[in-house]
Structure 1
Amino acid sequence: MSILVVAEHDNASLKPATLNTIAAAQQIAQYNGGGDIHVLVAGSGCDAAAQAAAKIAGIAKVLVADGAEFANALAENLAPLVVKLASGYSHVLAPATTSGKNVMPRVAALLDVQQISEIVAVEGADTFVRPIYAGNALATVKSSDALKIITVRATGFDAAAAEGGSASVEKVDSTGDAGTSSFVGQELSKSERPELTSARVIVSGGRGMQSGDNFHMLDKIADKLGAAVGASRAAVDAGFVPNDYQVGQTGKIVAPELYIAVGISGAIQHLAGMKDSKVIVAINKDEEAPIFQVADYGLVGDLFKIVPELEAELGK
């Protein structure tokens, strides 16, 4: 049978995690008799996002639900649409992002099936690997449900090719406004830097930064590296930076090519969000800090001396 991927987008373009989720769907399809992969794009004025989805390699069909009720991706409106479409599929996948974690449990509940959360590997059409205990262990789970509802941890899969496909685009009828919630407003942090979950390089600070003003030291390094700036939960809880900087189990899961951890001790919940990074560099004055257990390169010393020296070297 076919597989449905619920795309995450901003009505103009697809979010990167959608491509990783499609890659997971492609792996499932190999065990699933080679079934087609369809992508659902639900939004308002979302033709550009739908056309982007149609170009993804390996996609057979793009389903478009265009209506004002989907403008802000409210889970209460999107979940009934996914449920309506789900009967024609063996698997329904979405990224394990804030949006996906909001929508898919509702879908699973409405369909009376168990959700399989944050898979990082596929071992069969019904068998998946997912992290447990804050990523300290991996569980292999097998589902006997006829319909699998799955969220995908983007860092577990390489992104599917964004070009090379020519899928058909088909409009589907909306299920209407559920009337149980309404969009009031949002406050978005604007930055010229890359978004954390898609950044190639991330510079993160922890409690050791001592204040929000000291994070400007990291800003200078990030600007020279073209990097995003992140933070540990301790730094966010202390009010040094906004919570959209947070990397970790209760923040954003990242896997950049380079992760520089400055003044971060390495609590389990933080490691769960960044230990899949390709190269990890840790700077901390405590040589016993847990962060050094996962770091590829560690520098023990005073960050207020080391960071300016690093900045100076990058400027040469």
Structure 2
Amino acid sequence: MAILVLAEHDNASLKLDTAKVVACASAIGGDIDILVAGHECGAVVEAAQKLSGVRQVLVADNGAYTHSLAENIAELIVNLASDYEHILAAASSHGKDAFPRVSALLDVAQLSEVVEVVSSDTFVRPVYAGSALATVQSLDDKKVMTVRTSAFDAVGADGAAAAVAIDKVFDSLSQFVSQTLTESERPELGAASVVVSGGRGMGSGENFSILEQLADKLGGALGASRAAVDAGFVPNDLQVGQTGKIVAPDLYIAVGISGAIQHLAGMKDSKVIVAINKDPEAPIFQIADYGLEADLFEVVPQLIESV
């Protein structure tokens, strides 16, 4: 049995999510190959070769894959699919963009947001915003899956896989126009060990500056609830929740967040949850390991000084 894992990268570095998807693939069992599709991505290939349990790294280095356009990536994967029983990717924006196309072209059902492997054809995935878990069995010849990486620990980096060049080029009618990137010295939200998130209780975007100070003191990432994003306090790339990013850091600090089920779906698997809210009835306190009923504008500055 062979498994193909789509690498998550930016042409310069391999994302930690890839090592977590490889962990899921290892739980399935079989030979694991990683597909690196990009342009001038030698550093990514070297990092992928070091992942434990990987047999080989397939390298499609071409300008057509520079920006990971879903159409191009999907056609490439489908072209390689005959050699694999399982095809995996992280449940990231890239995976969610490309893999529905892969499953449609292969005429199989997609298994989304897998959090546990029961057997090679049976998996566990969340439903109803994570309030329930469904065990599903796929009878398709090809299992096309996205993996919720917060549910798996990354594999080590002691491997020595071979690199194999692929000269297949698929260039669709879609064209890359532009992208706007948010640059920050803070760790990436999905991979940070500490996340400080604010909600509508912050009152305004300017008030998020105190959370930025706390995040910087803790070496963590900044997050937000959907209510804060919808109110225009912060950009939507900071959103944590069912319609945002799924995170599971060692420490999650929720400030001024009531705890709607949409938000809880994105952070309830965090190792330690600290909630700060002046409303004693806020649902966030029901899942918090530590809860502080207080005015956030008094407490957070004190935390910053004490760290």
* TM-score of Structure 1 vs Structure 2, range by shorter chain: over 0.9
1:176 paired residue number: 170
Amino acid at match of 1:36: D
Secondary structure of 1:87's aligned partner: helix
Alpha-carbon deviation of 1:11? Answer: 1.2
**What is the 5 A alignment of 1:234-249?**
234-249=227-242
1:257 paired residue number: 250
1:90 paired residue number: 85
Q: Is there any run of 5+ residues in structure 2 with no aligned partner, and where?
A: none
2:15 paired residue number: 15
**What is the 5 A alignment of 1:1-316?**
1-29=1-29, 35-161=30-156, 163-179=157-173, 181-314=174-307
Alpha-carbon deviation of 1:306? Answer: 1.1
Structure 1 residues 142-163: Cα deviation after superposition (integer angstroms, max 9, x where no partner): 00001100000001100111x2
TM norm structure 2? 0.99
| Counterpart contact for 1:28–1:122, Cα < 8 Å | yes
Alpha-carbon deviation of 1:50? Answer: 1.0
Structure 1 residues 9-61: Cα deviation after superposition (integer angstroms, max 9, x where no partner): 111211111111000000001xxxxx210000000111221111111111001
| Counterpart contact for 2:62–2:169, Cα < 8 Å | no
Q: Is there any run of 5+ residues in structure 1 with no aligned partner, and where?
A: 30-34
CA distance in 2, matches of 1:247, 1:103: 22
TM norm structure 1? 0.96
Percent identity between the two aligned chains: 64
CA distance in 2, matches of 1:98, 1:227: 22
CA distance in 1, matches of 2:145, 2:243: 19
Alpha-carbon deviation of 1:173? Answer: 2.2
Structure 1 residues 203-261: Cα deviation after superposition (integer angstroms, max 9, x where no partner): 00000000011001111111111111100000000010111110001110000000000
Structure 1 residues 85-133: Cα deviation after superposition (integer angstroms, max 9, x where no partner): 0111110000000000001110000000000000000000000000000
CA distance in 1, matches of 2:172, 2:10: 21
1:32 paired residue number: none
Structure 1 residues 255-299: Cα deviation after superposition (integer angstroms, max 9, x where no partner): 000000000000111000000000000000111111001100000
CA distance in 1, matches of 2:101, 2:183: 30
| Counterpart contact for 2:200–2:256, Cα < 8 Å | yes
Secondary structure of 2:130's aligned partner: coil
Q: Structure 1 stretches (4+) deviating beyond 4 angstroms?
A: none
Secondary structure of 1:60's aligned partner: strand
Amino acid at match of 1:12: A
CA distance in 2, matches of 1:154, 1:246: 17
CA distance in 1, matches of 2:306, 2:43: 43
CA distance in 2, matches of 1:87, 1:3: 11
| Counterpart contact for 2:64–2:169, Cα < 8 Å | no
CA RMSD of aligned residues (A): 0.7
